[in-house]
Amino acid sequence: MTQDSLKQQIRQLAFERNALILAHNYQRDEIQEIADITGDSLGLSLEAARTEKDVIVFCGVHFMAESAAILAPDKTVLLPREDAGCPMADMITATGLKQMKQRFPEAAVVTYVNSTAATKAETDICCTSANAVKVVRSLEAQEIIFAPDRNLGRYVASFLPEKTFHFWDGFCPSHENLRADEVRRIRAEHPDALFMAHPECHPEVLKLADHICSTSGMYAYAQTSPAKKFIIGTEMGILYRLGKENPDKEFILASPALICPNMKLISLEDLYASLANLSPVITVQEPIRSRARLALDRMLAVPRD
């Protein structure tokens, strides 16, 4: 079967199943192309929460499909590759977080959505890279446990010196791959380019950035900035839409190491099979689902711009 006829069959099946195809901004180009909606973690969670479709096919990683299952329990949530995990989400466990809470009983617990449902269930409020500063600022608590991403946590803390932070020592291996000396070198080669970085990058890399934001924030910045050239400090999947939406601008990946193997697992064939077989289904059992839902709902209630 050619790629084009496979794409047509996927769209036909999605129609027959009354399915919404969501794709994260790091997915393969052809998956982003065929999706109904592409977006960052926050945007896709909102879409999952408000869809009236019967089926949500989540082209992303496991924690994202879990969030959709938590927010839309009456829908069938599919993750075309069940083995698409997130190493950062696996760097923390609910038990580990419980132990940290015992050490800092006064602290509010803020957990990045890149975490399992069981970890979210031990959390006061979730955040994404798009809203983390606003979420933590909205809290009355002076003391914060921030998990699991130490880099995003330190970035948030830099805006809120009045609060005391305790960081879980997790990180995204793909973003951690980007080194400050590589960024300095590529900046020197392209002195007319702006450097956009994701807050999952190392603090030494973030110090060099002109703009720090979530993946969807990068689309907005590329479109509104008068600059013609950008160095990109996040996973390479973002280049697809950046190039498509800004044909007159140039985007240079800061390092070839900026790749998340888990985000590259889902193929068109996997997506077709998932829709055809209505599997693998992702579910979250009670009472974890309700407790994790509370943490996600609190996040979604924080006013956006």
Using the structure block, give the residue that is written with the tokens 């617990």.
109
- Convert residues 53-92 into a mask of x (bound to ligand SF4 by CB under 6 A) and - (unbound): --------x------------------------xxx----
Q: How far is the CB of 251 from ligand SF4 (least distance, A)?
A: 18
Is 127 a binding residue for ligand SF4 by CB under 6 A? The answer is no
88 or 296: CB nearest ligand SF4: 88
DSSP 8-class letter at 256: T
What is the Rg, in whole angstroms, of the alpha carbon atoms belonging to the chain?
A: 19
Q: What tokens does 71 get?
A: 């927010």
Beta-bridge partner residues of 111: 126, 147
Is 172 a binding residue for ligand SF4 by CB under 6 A? The answer is yes
Residue 280 preceded by cis peptide, ω within 30: yes
Is 266 a binding residue for ligand SF4 by CB under 6 A? The answer is no
Q: How far is the CB of 114 from ligand 13P (least distance, A)?
A: 5
CA dihedral 150, 233, 26, 165 (to 10 degrees): 20
Strands (E), the chain: 19-24, 37-39, 55-59, 76-78, 108-112, 125-127, 143-147, 164-167, 194-197, 211-212, 229-233, 250-253
- In this structure, are residues 23 and 112 in contact, taking their beta carbons and an 8 Å threshold? no
Phi-psi region of 18 (alpha: psi -120 to 50; beta: other; left: phi over 0): left
Is 201 a binding residue for ligand SF4 by CB under 6 A? The answer is no
Type and span of the H or E element at 270? helix 268-277
Is 114 a binding residue for ligand 13P by CB under 6 A? The answer is yes
Which does residue 25 bind out of ligand SF4, ligand 13P, none, counting CB within 5 to 8 angstroms by kind?
ligand 13P
175 or 289: CB nearest ligand SF4: 175
- Convert residues 62-101 into a mask of x (bound to ligand 13P by CB under 6 A) and - (unbound): ------------------------x---------------
CA dihedral 132, 124, 45, 159 (to 10 degrees): 0
Which does residue 38 bind out of ligand 13P, ligand SF4, none, counting CB within 5 to 8 angstroms by kind?
none
Single out the residue of 38, 76, 115, 129 in contact with ligand 13P (rule: CB under 6 A): 129
- In this structure, are residues 98 and 122 in contact, taking their beta carbons and an 8 Å threshold? yes
Single out the residue of 38, 76, 215, 274 in contact with ligand 13P (rule: CB under 6 A): 215
Q: Which one of 4-12, 75-83, 122-130, 132-140 is the stretch in contact with ligand 13P (CB under 6 A)?
A: 122-130
Which does residue 87 bind out of ligand SF4, ligand 13P, none, counting CB within 5 to 8 angstroms by kind?
ligand SF4
Binding site for ligand SF4 (CB under 6 A): 61, 86-88, 114, 172-174, 235, 260, 262-263
Binding site for ligand 13P (CB under 6 A): 25, 40-42, 86, 114, 128-130, 172, 198, 200, 214-215
